[in-house]
Amino acid sequence: MMRQKNGLSRRNALKFALGTAAAGALVTAARAQDGQAAPAGQAAPAPAPAAPAATAPANAPVTPGWRRFRLGEAEVTVLLDGVRPGDGPFPTFGEDQSAEAVGALMEANLLPTSSFVNFFQPVVIRTGNETVLVDTGFGAGGREGGLGMLRQRLEDAGIAADRVTMVVLTHLHGDHIGGLMEGDAPAFPNAHMIVGRQEYEFWTSDAARSGPSAGNAEAVSAKVTPMEGRMTLAEDGDEVAPGLFAREAFGHTPGHFAYELRSGGRRLYLMGDVFSQFVVSFQEPDWHVRFDMDKEKAAATRRRYAKLLAEEKVPFLGYHLPFPALGYVQADGEAFRFVPETYALLIDPPATGGQ
């Protein structure tokens, strides 16, 4: 469904909505681990039975559930599938560094040295006649730990699951594919699915099924393979929906895609797991990340996209960045910094600008 172009007016400011209904849970780290996607060398957890969406305990802060903004003629809604506190960021981030080095970086950024919070954020894009869901969160398998809130967030944001026409997956780790199914049925019954060809071919290969990635391959078999009949395998550069282009971003997984949205003179990148921690990923992009399957290639991909985003001043969304995961990259010497979006997207671009 198309909307009027965005302008800095009271009416349009109200459209830049911050959903606050039905808060998600901030749960203990021990419980939250139940829904965690396994790294390449570990088996993925078995899906848990379907359960009602979790609610926040009385002593937890209320967490906003969704945020909506316009990008040209497109409407973008960020949905918080859940929040997971725990130990870290070392050794998940900076796996090749010392705990002291990672802790010092956190301290320099006014953050705790040995604990952090991770976020999980699918996105809905209304572009042309399509309602596109990018990634699906944990699904039922995460709800006992306060994750898997996508269904509730969609309802809060006024988006019916049966009105989603397309599901686009950046990659096939468990925290991105878990919400594809509810029990034995597709969670989005009228949606076509887009998956990168290299990504799908890897996770359905004998090598993936028999090697250290077997646990995640099993999850792909349970969640993704049943929908092969409604699946398109995308290549780098494909326009998978109006104005939405697949962009190669390999390293985190063998076929990880970012997606570039172009609409009405605006651009936005959906980066998936290229940038997974808002300090380390930018200020130390070469540090290894435990969940990156090809660590050197993932680091090169981080640098390449950080440079592109900084030079072209294009906003982006990062699946694991602090809610609402929307911001910019700023060059800082040989490294970069994450700058949260504030109000630039409320203002129309110059008439001669844009693509």
The per-residue pLDDT for range 125-150, each reduced to its tens digit, is 999 999 999 999 999 999 999 999 99
pTM: 0.83
Give the other-Cβ count within 10 Å of 159's Cβ.
18
Task: Kindly list the domain boundaries of the chain, sorted by start residue.
Answer: 10-17+56-346
The per-residue pLDDT for range 87-133, each reduced to its tens digit, is 999 999 999 999 999 999 999 999 999 999 999 999 999 999 999 99
CATH 3.60.15.10 describes domain 10-17+56-346 = yes
Give the other-Cβ count within 10 Å of 65's Cβ.
25
Q: For the chain, count helices (H), then strands (E).
A: 10, 19
244/238 Cα distance (integer angstroms): 8
Which residues of the chain have a pLDDT value below 70?
A: 1-63, 350-355
pLDDT of 107 reads 98
pLDDT of 349 reads 75
pLDDT of 211 reads 84
Look up residue 149 and give its DSSP letter.
-
Using alpha carbons, select from 130, 103, 92 the residue that is nearest to residue 292: 92
Using alpha carbons, select from 45, 26, 28 the residue that is nearest to residue 36: 45
Burial of residue 162, with CB atoms counted within 10 A of its CB: 0-12 exposed, 13-18 middle, 19 or more buried: exposed
Residue type at position 75: E
pLDDT of 351 reads 61
Using alpha carbons, select from 151, 119, 163, 122 the residue that is nearest to residue 51: 151
pLDDT of 63 reads 58
